[in-house]
């Protein structure tokens, strides 16, 4: 479905998602500052920042793979999979350590990551429905 979209769609989607996530993260920070401990609000910002950094690293990794030209699908999967797995393991470790050291901070980080994913899904749905819908 996404492969049928115009080539300029993905960069616009990533920019829109990043900007939307920053706005939603700022609103989440303001809400959290009033209803949770301050470290949880900080965690929301850290979580959104981690998600944006992950997306940027994935984007740059994808560009590097595309620049190498024709490769087997298996080689591309191996290149992408190892680094992606390492990044996600690192993010998981950061969250678990944060939860262990300071529960509100860790929960805030998880909340920021979830907010980012929600923004990403909403933006993808907007692009897909704008291009003719699902089906």
Give the pLDDT of the chain (135 residues) as one tens digit per residue: 555 556 667 778 888 999 999 999 999 999 999 999 999 999 999 999 999 999 888 877 777 766 565 566 776 677 777 788 888 999 999 999 999 999 999 999 999 999 999 999 999 888 888 776 665
In whole angstroms, give the CA distance from residue 52 to residue 116.
8
* Dist. CA 122–CA 125, nearest whole Å: 5
What 8-state DSSP symbol labels residue 36? S
Residue ranges per structural domain of the chain:
13-130
> Which pTM was predicted?
0.82
């Amino acid at each position: 479905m996404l492969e049928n979209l115009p080539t300029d769609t993905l960069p616009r989607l990533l920019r829109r998602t990043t900007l939307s996530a920053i706005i939603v993260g700022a609103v989440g920070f303001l809400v959290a500052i009033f209803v949770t401990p301050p470290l949880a609000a900080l965690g929301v910002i850290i979580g959104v920042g981690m998600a944006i950094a992950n997306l940027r690293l994935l984007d740059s990794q994808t560009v590097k793979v595309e620049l190498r030209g024709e490769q087997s699908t298996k080689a591309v999967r191996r290149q992408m999979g190892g680094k992606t797995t390492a990044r996600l393991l690192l993010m998981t470790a950061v969250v678990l350590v944060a939860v262990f050291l300071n529960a509100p901070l860790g929960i805030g980080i998880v909340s920021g990551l979830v907010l980012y994913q929600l923004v990403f899904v909403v933006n993808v749905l907007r692009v897909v429905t704008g291009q003719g819908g699902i089906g």
